[in-house]
Structure 1
């Protein structure tokens, strides 16, 4: 039989003919697919670009808070940034000098990028107000994604640069200084104040809402902190459910682990002629009657002593 482009001869049982048949079928199938395939063009979604005039945002921020004659006073700066201006500028300068993400940059057209002031302000506003990343776009002139990245790099940089100095346990030199400050204020042996506060958890999962609510529809997370008179936080225990009060949090807190495991520093001080070797914290009335807790003064003999009583009663009522 004469063979053509569509006909061929083969004999059953021959391996060569079987291979030829398979090859021929594959070729015909490929030709059929090529002839019937429809080319469907794909449309790429264009990225929306918004000209935010970031230079104007930096100038506005500078004139509002950081120029020689700012629009807003020091009190308003402290309320909105939750710190004084000198501390904020120290943080900005340190980040701009040592963290690549916050260093001033220029783009391909030699245009100035987002300034370190704008980046740090975006991060602080999100932390201070618990605001969404998109809410600061109109003032700081930073997009939502960029604002979120600023926050992430900011918290990591703070821990890396300041953690060894400010996020640590007190050294013997620190304890000596704290004891000196406490004695100057009429509390020899006092190293700080301990208390708990509740942070509102706006995005608490529905399944956890009951566990983190205290009889209301607002879930909260408890923070236990020990702070000295200079507002230096020496201990922080965060994350306890909102249903807990100070006593429940104290049962879970590692604040006394050094004493339990024998790592507590030794100290000696005298009160009314008696020697003591354990320091103590100032607390409110809800805390137990332990030797390491000193509550309100039962019979105040000075106007300042009455303030301790008033504060303790208010904290007890709140807890």
Structure 2
């Protein structure tokens, strides 16, 4: 075989090898791209999140008084606890369970607090991670299930047009507070 024939064979083999190599690399990249990526597990110490929340707002002598609770949750504590109780009893997602490692998951208080604060303050799902100890995807799931459950559990009672008695009560409250004739104000929209 002459040197030119040998060079031609070498070039052909190299070209074939490069094509095969590229095909193998591309198929591996495609398989990796289609594989779901595992998220890194973050130990959030959920129990500590629950304990902080409990000590700050719910124990016998909480760190923050009822006025601060109302300001931060945009509702009074008895109403919040009524919602928590209804969700715990009626919606399985809000019932605290043990996981496969026999550790408790997030408490109902943590889930409800995340959902209510995201609604009240229009903040993202990861805002309360450091305090409540739940990740963004969990917080968003809490919000979704929370809003659907509230509509299901309380919709007939509260998500309706005000009755004549409701309107009169609101007018009386407004008058006591120095706003006669005002029924309510929601985002600068007034009811007639």
Same fold (TM over 0.5): yes
Q: Distance in 1 between matches of 2:83 and 2:190?
A: 23
Q: Specify the alignment match of 2:168 in structure 1.
A: 178
Q: Specify the alignment match of 1:74 in structure 2.
A: 66
Which of structures 1 and 2 has the bigger CA Rg?
Answer: 1
Q: Specify the alignment match of 1:157 in structure 2.
A: 149
Q: Which structure's residues are more often strand, by fraction? A: 1
* 5+ long unaligned stretches in structure 1: 1-35, 198-222, 227-280, 282-319
Cα 1:94–1:194 change in 2 (3 A) is closer
Q: Distance in 1 between matches of 2:84 and 2:60?
A: 18
TM-superposition CA deviations, 1:37-69 (whole Å, max 9, x none) = 747545564321100000110011000000001
TM-score (norm 1): 0.45
Q: Distance in 2 between matches of 1:194 and 1:85?
A: 22
Higher RCO (CA < 8 A, seq sep 6+): 2
Q: Which runs of 4+ in 1 moved over 2 A?
A: 36-46, 169-172, 194-197, 223-226
Q: Specify the alignment match of 1:9 in structure 2.
A: none
Q: Specify the alignment match of 2:107 in structure 1.
A: 115
User: How many residues matched?
Assistant: 160
Q: Specify the alignment match of 2:53 in structure 1.
A: 61
* 1:11-26 aligned within 5 A: none
The question of whether the paired residues in 2 share the 8 Å contact of 1:178 and 1:191 is answered with no
Q: Specify the alignment match of 2:124 in structure 1.
A: 132
Measured after TM superposition, the shift of residue 157 of structure 1 is 1.0
Q: Distance in 1 between matches of 2:162 and 2:55?
A: 40
Q: Distance in 2 between matches of 1:69 and 1:162?
A: 30
Q: Which structure's residues are more often helix, by fraction? A: 2
Measured after TM superposition, the shift of residue 73 of structure 1 is 0.8
Cα 1:193–1:116 change in 2 (3 A) is same
Measured after TM superposition, the shift of residue 107 of structure 1 is 1.0
Q: Specify the alignment match of 2:82 in structure 1.
A: 90
Cα 1:194–1:70 change in 2 (3 A) is closer
TM-score (norm 2): 0.72
